[in-house]
Amino acid sequence: MEQLQAQQLFFNHIKSKLPAHLSLVDEVAELLNISNDSAYRRIRGDKPIALDEIQVLCNNYKVSLDQLLQINTDTVIFSGNIVDNETFNLNKYLHDIHKNLEFIKSLPGAEFFCFNKDIPIFYFMQFPELSAFKFFFWKRTILNYPELSKQLFNGEEVDADIQETGKKIINTYSEISSTEIWNEQNIHITIQQIEFYRETRVFANKHIILKVYSQLEELLNHLELQAEKGKKFLANGKPIVNSANYSVYINECLIGDNTYHVKAGEKQMTFINHGGLNFMGTSDKRFCDFTYNNLQNIIRKSSYISVIGEKERSMFFNSLRERIYEKKKNIL
């Protein structure tokens, strides 16, 4: 590949990663601390780009030169942060999720695929005590916050910024068409977390346990109604004419792994959950193609329950509600 062609390909790739409202020239000029005219000359290929400039742009936009220049290696470049109890900031974590969702929403024709292992954050954020429980579990059990080791869960999340960011996540996700693959294990994980805290007496009282279970049941009711309508909308709301599409598949053979995949025309991105809370993402074409094809294979082996499939849909959600009912009965 000639240098001019490679340089133009490089900048075209960066442009494809930018939201539509951002200017490639302005972005390059700011990152490289050069004038817009100098940025133009590099983008057109009139001036060769220096290695240190390539490094700056690759680091900022998470570009793999191996992939871009079709160098044959087995490397796949992922980007993401690793959190622990010293670095984790819940509001920043939620803000980053919202930022990614806003970018996805800006892509024409974007569809979001979820292969769930646990309840996605987009849903439990709509229920205050349930979301507070999840956040408390993350910090106390997954991240091992020392100050929470003896603290009881009282059902509250007092941080107003977290609540506000959560609302933004809910609203944005509700505007993106999605295809989701579920099985009963997705809900059982949360039930197991609740039961673990109940048995180890982490809940402040039984009323809070019952409230968390009741909101988990409300969440199931909302998911079932969305599946029935084939549209997304907020809890206690209803779909409107231009509501985002909601396609749900049930697969009882394969356990999900919290893989999230975005496809918008030729543009693809894959996000993978690891270590409980961490996510890493890639736009590597080979990896994204594999992920998309794998998801399509799983979908073909799953039961579709959106709009049609009333019997299977009812059986699925009734089974989960029955399990919650049995757990609540043991508490009363």
Domains and CATH numbers, the chain: 3-68 (1.10.260), 79-331 (no CATH)
- What pLDDT score was predicted for residue 194? 96
Query: Which pLDDT score, from 0 to 100, does residue 11 have?
Result: 81
> Which residues of the chain register pLDDT less than 70?
1-5, 64-75, 157-158
pLDDT of residue 195: 96
Task: Answer yes or no: pTM beyond 0.85.
Answer: no
- Beta-bridge partners for 259: 115, 272
Q: What is the pLDDT of residue 65?
A: 65
3-class DSSP assignment, residue 274: strand
- pLDDT of amino acid 1: 47
For CA atoms 72, 41, 79, 174, the dihedral sign is: negative
pLDDT of residue 68: 58
Closest by CA position to 14, among listed 38, 43, 36, 51: 43
The answer to whether the beta carbons of residues 90 and 158 sit under 8 Å apart is no
pLDDT for res 229: 94
Residue 275's alpha-carbon distances to 81, 98, 138, 162, in angstroms, are: 11, 20, 11, 22
Question: Which pLDDT value is given to residue 81?
Answer: 77
